[in-house]
């Protein structure tokens, strides 16, 4: 599958990975529906695109589960049938499990997992009716193995893998595909926006994030994975080795992670 000229809906498109994908896909003549909670920031992304006329702004909050059917109808009305939904919106965490308020775990699950499930469920009948469609869900390497200070984030990302693996199995017969993108460290504001133990934002970056992949590099590699129809794609630097250590040498991975200075 080529992504060129497709109609693509991107969540979390006001910054970071979603913003970078908007620029790349706009250059490939895609019609884009851009969503996030921040309409003003989405307008800035639209204006920065090479072809802003091919972009529709659709504000969306993943916590408003009951609005997803209406939002999906609005997205379809923008350019006609949707070809690809990119589930990108989410929030990270930086806090020790023992110190973390339960409300923080609820927010992480509601945003990263249930909000994505709610939107996917709203779009799924549309894909079934036209016998084609593609879900691209951005999880994380933390959806495949764990790391301290990210217990709730890891839990939510692991849950996405279970849900979308089953979606692929149940709806392959309907012409629907699923690719799970598992990035490592990427140069975004994910660490600054991460929730701490009391639910407040961390508001500071870390060295690992600053030294991660550029958004543009991740985007290009992500598009290639989708076009190749990969079930999962692990995209990053040396942290990607954690995938293979987890599979073959889980105790060694435990030791490596425990020696890491990443927080």
The burial of 140, by beta-carbon neighbours within 10 Å (0-12 exposed, 13-18 middle, 19 or more buried), is given as: buried
- Please report, rounded to a whole number, the percentage of residues in the chain having pLDDT higher than 90: 94
Average pLDDT, the chain: 96
Q: What is the pTM of this model?
A: 0.96
The answer to whether 241 touches 182, Cβ cutoff 8 Å, is no
pLDDT tens readout for residues 54-79? 999 999 999 999 999 999 999 999 99
Band of the pLDDT at 209, cuts 50, 70, 90?
Answer: confident
Q: 196, 223, 189: which is closest to 41 by C-alpha?
A: 189
Joined tokens for residue 53 = 């006329």
134: annotated active-site residue: no
Fold category of 7-259 in CATH: Rossmann fold (3.40.50)
Q: Which of 105, 134, 149, 153 is catalytic?
A: 153
């Amino acid at each position: 599958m080529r992504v060129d000229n497709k109609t693509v809906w991107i969540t979390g498109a006001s910054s970071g990975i979603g913003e970078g994908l908007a620029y790349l896909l706009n250059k490939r003549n895609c019609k884009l529906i851009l969503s996030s909670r921040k309409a003003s920031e989405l307008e800035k992304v639209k204006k920065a695109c090479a072809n802003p006329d091919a972009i529709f702004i659709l504000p969306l909050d993943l916590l408003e589960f009951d609005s997803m059917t209406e939002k999906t109808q609005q997205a379809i009305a923008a350019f006609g049938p949707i070809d690809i939904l990119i589930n990108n919106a989410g929030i990270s965490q930086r806090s020790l499990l023992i110190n973390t308020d339960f409300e923080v775990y609820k927010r992480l699950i509601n945003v990263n997992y249930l909000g994505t499930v709610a939107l996917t469920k709203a779009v799924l009948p549309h894909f079934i009716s036209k016998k084609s469609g593609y879900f691209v869900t951005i999880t994380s390497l933390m959806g495949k193995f764990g790391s301290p200070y990210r217990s709730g984030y890891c839990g939510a990302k692991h849950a996405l893998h279970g849900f979308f693996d089953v979606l692929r199995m149940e709806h392959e017969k309907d012409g629907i595909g699923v690719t799970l993108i598992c990035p490592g460290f990427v140069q975004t504001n994910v660490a600054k926006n991460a929730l701490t133990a009391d639910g407040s934002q961390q508001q500071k970056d870390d060295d690992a994030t600053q030294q991660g992949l550029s958004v543009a590099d991740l985007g290009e590699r992500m598009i290639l994975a989708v076009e190749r129809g990969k079930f999962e794609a692990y995209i990053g630097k040396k942290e990607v080795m954690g995938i293979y250590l987890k599979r073959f040498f889980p105790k060694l991975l435990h030791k490596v992670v425990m020696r890491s200075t990443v927080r």
